[in-house]
Amino acid sequence: MKNNLIFIGMPAVGKSTVGVVVAKQLGLHFVDTDLLIQEQEHRLLREIIAQDGEEAFLKIENQVNSQIEVSDAVISPGGSVVYCEEAMNHLKEIGTVVYLKASYRTIKRRIQNPKKRGVVLRQGQTLRDLYEERTKLFQKYADITVSQDGCKMEETVSKVLEAVEAVLR
């Protein structure tokens, strides 16, 4: 394993929640790149998107994620990072990418209201459209895929730890 774990997946899949627990169990740091973006821009993510637009946000997201330099960490980028090729190539260089996978049904149940959750949908795009579009990208970049449908958080953490341990062997 490279010395970082990077969690990717849809919003509400548990990247941050599972990431924090995995980091604690493995004695690693935890980095939420959405918080790094907010610190750099001195604005909330939704404010950046509302004021500057989605394209400008993706440029910032790409810049922050492609310049992250940490070791011995669990990194949790936002779900849209998979649109940022430069960032994803960098993240794959510095770590093992873990795709936390959940069915559309699970994501829809967890998100309920995409706007309140901060999920950006393009004009005419549905949550299902977004799910299908991103799922292909998550699969493309994943080194490890952990399906968490029907799992409690503790079960997902165990699955991640088992999968990571298998990569270490």
The model's pLDDT over 23-65, given as tens digits with 9 standing for 90+, comes to 999 999 999 999 999 999 999 998 998 899 889 999 999 999 9
Radius of gyration of the chain (CA): 15
Q: Percent of the chain beyond pLDDT 90? A: 74
Looking at the chain, which runs of residues are DSSP E strands? 4-8, 29-32, 73-76, 96-101, 144-147
pTM over 0.75: yes
In residues, how long is the chain?
Answer: 169
Cα(first)–Cα(last) distance of the chain, in Å?
Answer: 9
CA distance 17 to 106: 16
Q: Percent of the chain beyond pLDDT 70? A: 96
CA distance 96 to 141: 10
Is the Cβ–Cβ distance between 51 and 43 less than 8 Å? yes
H or E segment to which residue 1 belongs: none
Tokens at 28, concatenated: 């690693």
Band (168; pLDDT cuts 50, 70, 90): low
Q: What is the pLDDT of residues 87-136, one digit of tens each?
A: 999 999 999 999 999 999 999 998 887 776 777 788 889 999 999 999 99
Q: How many helices (H) and strands (E) does the chain have?
A: 9, 5
Tokens at 143, concatenated: 């080194």
Q: What is the pLDDT of residue 39?
A: 97
Q: What is the pLDDT of residue 120?
A: 75
Q: What is the pLDDT of residue 77?
A: 96
Distance of CA 154 to the CA centre of its chain: 18
